[in-house]
Every structure is written in structure tokens, then in C-alpha cells.
Structure 1
């Protein structure tokens, strides 16, 4: 007689509870593992219960780590049997993949190996932004721009840099092994990991022999050579280090501040002041300011489709704070920044975060832009994952002094208050623009990788709104026959001209605004002319 679903659920809950409490012997552990391999119904119940525990743990800000392999598994990995890693790494084990290795990473030619946890429904938690050294990948799944799901990442040499979807940047220096868990947590098994936690990332946990939790902007390096040794060097900010007991509770903790190091030798965490020589630091590298390589053929294709505005940011197109519109003597762009956080450099428009309001905008409004169709086209290159306004169309007449209304907004959408995949592009259209809430939204079909140039086109037409990212189209259909003769201005780089909110961090180039809708064929021609690739 087959057990009922309730019985299966109860048996799965009991197994998980005993595992996380550390009550299983090696023989009992092996018995559960064998049942997971052989019994499909029990395995499904186990995975569902682990997923439920995972969600609860996430809501409670738990600290997951890796799946244990008794009896040699380090204590901090046993604690990690809590929910998420249990499901992730057990599923990989069922495919015959061993993610937890006791032996050191083999010497020889530097290798890059990624093993994805085989559990349906998992979403990417990080993106590869840089690879250095002659790393030979075991497959083609790891390259700059690759989206990485939970799993094990090992490098035998060189360096690899990731950006988690929370915005945290991690740089692995080989030989190293890192287990990716969630957008805001990972476990360092061996080697060194440098981390930068930006202001808007929230809490980030890097597990190891001790747990390092960064709850504020910080920069630090975590190094470990085994289950009983670790060192954490804090260059900026604060990192809370915690030694956890068998039940997951904190036994002792120490706050490590700027220019301090924490050393763990098995029983205690010792914190001391340190002097870090710049040459000795293992640091996350910033995304370089690579210029967009624009051909004369691309510029000719844009001009042939008759935009009203075309800003190119060439060496002869800036006069003081004004950037010339190559289509006419009107509609110049104006830089508003008193701390050099917005500037034209090497042929593109650069934005950096600032505590002050700073932006780039039209020097005169466009009358009747929303009376008919319009298109916004540009190339954009974010330097990190964040929620940022790329361009907004604002009515000239505003109702309040402390914030401004929008007709349309183009955004880099990451961790917003809406439901969407991480790090996508968003096109919001709102008419009449008399409210700060609601509107039509369309999100890009793919995510936008930091450090890469992306072709972005937003179209408003009588049939609805469309958004192209690198030639791939998403649409929302609606009847938009509007009689609107209002004048609108364009503001780029932050939410509006008043609030220094949602500031864009990165570069923009080849910005065009058309008083008509570009066709799919025209958009494809523009993209192919620049890249030589077809989006289809």
C-alpha cells in the first residue's frame, strides 16, 4: 500500500528536522539519501517541504549554507542544512555530482567549473561580469554576461567577478570554491573572495568557518584555507562576524570595522587593527569605462529615420554644459551637476552616484510630443545592478514643489516594488500624467548585464507601448488615441529634477527621440548595423 501524501509530508518533515538538529548518524544519513534517490514520491515531498522551509527562512533572514556530508563535514556546513542548500545540493548529488569536496582544488592548468543545482524553478542569483587569466571552462555556460543559478563555482587560478542580483559584487581569486545560494548569500568553501556591498543592497551574508554579515555599505575580503581557519579584512564599512553553534544560534560575534581584521582559529574570533597596503589588497575591480564603438553607417541609419533629437556626445559636440543636437540648432542637452557626477567623456555620457541632485536634460521642452506616436532610442551600459531612472518625460507644468510627475519613464529595474525578473528594462507610460501611481508597464524580455552595452528602444503608438532590448521585443496593446498638445521635457540619470532618487550609475550614448514610431524593421536595422547580429 502506497503511503498517503500526508504521511509522506510528515516523514519528509521529520527527516529535515532531524538533519538540521544534527541527530542523524552516518548510517541514517545514508538511508535518507538512498531513499531520496530511489523513491520519487518521497523525493517530491522532501523538496516541497524544503522549499517551504526555505521561504520561511528567507522571510526570517536566516543564514543558509551548504549540504552536509557526514562525518567529515565542517560544523558551519552542518548548520547550513537549514532549508535552501539542502534542496539545492542534494538535487545535484542525485545526479552524481559531488559539490562538497574535502580534497584541495587540483593543481595544473587553471580551470573554471560550475555545477548548477538541479532543482526546477530555481532562478538566477548572480551574473558573471569579469573573467581574468587563462581559465578553461568545463563548458560554455560560464562567460561574461552568463546568469548563474544556485550551485557550486570553482576556479583553479586567475580571477572571476560576479554581481549578485542584490547588487553585491564578489571577486574570486583562484584557487577558490564558492557556493551560490541566494541573491544575498553565498558560502566560501576555500580561497579568497573580495566583496563590495553597495548602499542599496541590504544585508549580505558570506558564510564560511564564521559568518560575515554586511548590513551597510562595506568593502571586505574573506579568506579561508579550511573548516577551522578564516580571516576577514575590512577596508571600508562594518562587517559582523559570527561563530555559530550546532543549532544555528550565535555563540559569539565580533564587529569588524574599517581598517580592522578578524581572525578565526577554531575557537575564537580575534579582532585587531590593520594597515592595508593598497598593493596588497584583493579588491573588486570597477567596471571599466569602455566606449561604444559607433560606425558611420549606424549614425547614417539613425539620421535617415529623422529623429527630432540625436545626441552623439562626440568631441566637437559639447560647448560648456551644452551638448549639441546633430539634427538641428534646437533641443540641445544640458548637464546639471556641480560635483562632476555627470559628464561627457570619451564619446559617451557618464553618470556616477551623488548625494546631490544631478541630471542631463533638454534645454527646451518639446510641444505636442504626446499628440501622436513617439520613440526613444539609445545605447546604455550600467556599471552595477540597481533600480535607476534612465530617462523620464515630464510635463512642463508641475503640481508640486517637492516631486515631479511623469508621462513616461525608462528604468533599469532591479529590486523594485513591482513583480518582474531582476535587472530588466522597464518602460512606463502614464496618461494623463496627473498621478504618481499606476500606468502601463512593459518589461524587457531579457535582463541587462552590468558592464555591457545594450540597445534600448521604447515606442508609444496608437496600438500600445513596445520595448526592445537588443532587438528583442515586448509589447502591451491598448488603444492610445490621445489629443495631447502639452509640452514635455526629458530628464536623464535620475527620477526628476528635484529628487536625487533612483540615480543611474553607468553610461549612455547615441540618444535619439523621434516624433513618430519606429517600425520593428527599422529597430532591427539599427541593431544589426551596430552589432552585425540578428535578434531573432
Structure 2
């Protein structure tokens, strides 16, 4: 896992902040377990389970799933305040192996009866083997929008990209809801476009979850490293996505085979 190093510099952070994110986490942890938000007034993320910190020079990333108590991130505060017709999320990830793991989800809160939350948005990896509770194709990248939030696939927008990711290598992923369509970018290039429906929105008052499918319950755990998560209340342009990737990748070391 240490051969491909991510060392995004100040230029990358400047570009992200210039794009006006609603929240931006550089994954700098504090003694209290809160992940600092670079945006004043933005939502803080909490750490659950065991999340490790790995340093690449001056840059620190978070590592998930390498201990007996798999870690994850979640927000206690709900977001956004009102439904969003446009939305973007970008993050750097390095999966340790092919597996079915959730990178980022926006979910409703679990009700008093303990019912599983419903998903409004999800970005996840497909595994090397099928699982009866997941319809994500093998070794794919799946992205979806459910409006209103739901626990099933009926009325779902989005798709899966075959052979959508590499293992043990850093990759820049961007999910975009733009007007009437969904777009997925990997390493600065658009790899999927789907009808998102101009009447479909990201619902309000959702919980942010990273590293697992639900904020409560160990399912579809992400195993690997993650860094530089930003969410926006608007759609990033293709030029912005490309510029962000180039700025982040320019500081990365040349990866070895494994």
C-alpha cells in the first residue's frame, strides 16, 4: 500500500477552495476524533471504529479496514439544509484490493424502530465476488441517485462502470449531479453519463457516511486509503475536475507494481 504515494500540495487545496465547496476535509485528525473542516461553518466528520493515519511526507491520509474494528466516518449534523438540484463530491481513494466497499453515501437517519436508513446518493466499489445483498457488478464503480431517498433500486438513477478502478493506486473520483444528468469522473476524465432527471434532487437533512454503507452496521466496508474529500452544492465543471486532478497528481510519486 505504501508504493503509490499521494502528496497533494497547497495548489490543490487552493483550487478546491476556489471552487467554493460546502465542506472540505483534508483529513487532519484532532485528539477529540473530529476531522477539521476547511470551510468555516461546514459540517464536521467524526471517526467511528479504528481509523489509522498514514503520512506521505507532509501529507496525511486515512486508512480504513486494516484492523479488527473497521473504521468509518460520519456526520452528526445533517446536510444540506434544503434539497439540491445540483451537487458534486470529489475524493482521492486507494483501494487495497477488489472488494464491495462504500466510499461515500448520503443517507437518511435511522428511525426509532431501527430501520435501515435510505440512500439519496452512493459511490461504491464492486468486488471480485458477487454478494446477494449487492447488485454492483464485479470490479466496477457504481454511482447512484435516489430521489426521494430509498432502500431499493426502483426509480434509481445512475449506473456502474466496468473495470472502474485500480487497486493500490491513488485515483481521483468525482460524482456530479448536473441539471438533468449524472456524471462520473475518474482521474480527470468523464467515464459515465446518465439521465438524472431534471426533477430529481439530492434530498435535505442527510447524514454523510464514508467507508461503509450505513452509519450503523458493518456492511460494504471500504478497505484502503482515502484523502481530500470535498462536497459542493453545485456542479463542478469538466474543466474544474480536470484541473483539480492534474494539481493533485502532479505531486504523486510514480507507482510501483504493487
Contact 2:148/2:203, CA 8 A, preserved across alignment: no
Q: Which residue of 2 aligns with 1:67?
A: none
**Offset at residue 377 of structure 1 (A):** 0.3
Note if 1:454 corresponds to 2:175. Answer: no
Q: Which residue of 1 aligns with 2:143?
A: 427
Q: Deviations along 1:325-349, whole A, 9 cap, x unmatched?
A: 0111431110011xx3x23332111
Distance 1:291 1:425, change over 3 A: same
Q: Deviations along 1:404-459, whole A, 9 cap, x unmatched?
A: 21111110112445474x42221111111133333122233653121100000001
Note if 1:299 corresponds to 2:8. Answer: no
Q: Deviations along 1:89-126, whole A, 9 cap, x unmatched?
A: xxxxxxxxxxxxxxxxxxxxxxxxxxxxxxxxxxxxxx
User: Gapped runs of 5+ residues in structure 1?
Assistant: 1-286
Contact 2:92/2:172, CA 8 A, preserved across alignment: yes
Of residues 120, 129, 134, the one that matches 1:407 is: 120
Q: Which residue of 1 aligns with 2:53?
A: 344
User: Gapped runs of 5+ residues in structure 2?
Assistant: 252-258
* Secondary structure, aligned partner of 1:312: strand
**Offset at residue 529 of structure 1 (A):** 1.7
* Secondary structure, aligned partner of 2:206: strand
Contact 2:87/2:202, CA 8 A, preserved across alignment: no
Distance 1:379 1:353, change over 3 A: same
CA distance in 1 between partners of 2:54 and 2:124 (Å): 22
**Offset at residue 460 of structure 1 (A):** 1.4
CA distance in 1 between partners of 2:70 and 2:114 (Å): 14
Distance 1:357 1:449, change over 3 A: closer
Contact 1:369/1:515, CA 8 A, preserved across alignment: no
Bigger helix share:
1
CA distance in 1 between partners of 2:20 and 2:122 (Å): 22
CA distance in 1 between partners of 2:102 and 2:136 (Å): 17
CA distance in 2 between partners of 1:485 and 1:510 (Å): 24
**Offset at residue 484 of structure 1 (A):** 6.6
Q: Which residue of 1 aligns with 2:232?
A: 514
Distance 1:358 1:531, change over 3 A: closer
**Offset at residue 356 of structure 1 (A):** 5.3
Q: Which residue of 2 aligns with 1:496?
A: 214
* Secondary structure, aligned partner of 1:327: coil
Note if 1:288 corresponds to 2:2. Answer: yes
CA root-mean-square deviation: 2.5
CA distance in 2 between partners of 1:356 and 1:500 (Å): 10
Distance 1:384 1:484, change over 3 A: closer
TM-score, normalised to structure 2, is 0.83
Q: Which has the higher contact order (CA 8 A, sep 6+)?
A: 2
CA distance in 2 between partners of 1:389 and 1:330 (Å): 23
* Secondary structure, aligned partner of 1:390: strand
Q: Deviations along 1:277-301, whole A, 9 cap, x unmatched?
A: xxxxxxxxxx337541112111111
Contact 2:136/2:160, CA 8 A, preserved across alignment: no
Note if 1:527 corresponds to 2:242. Answer: no
CA distance in 2 between partners of 1:371 and 1:526 (Å): 23
Note if 1:320 corresponds to 2:32. Answer: yes
> Which structure has the bigger radius of gyration?
1
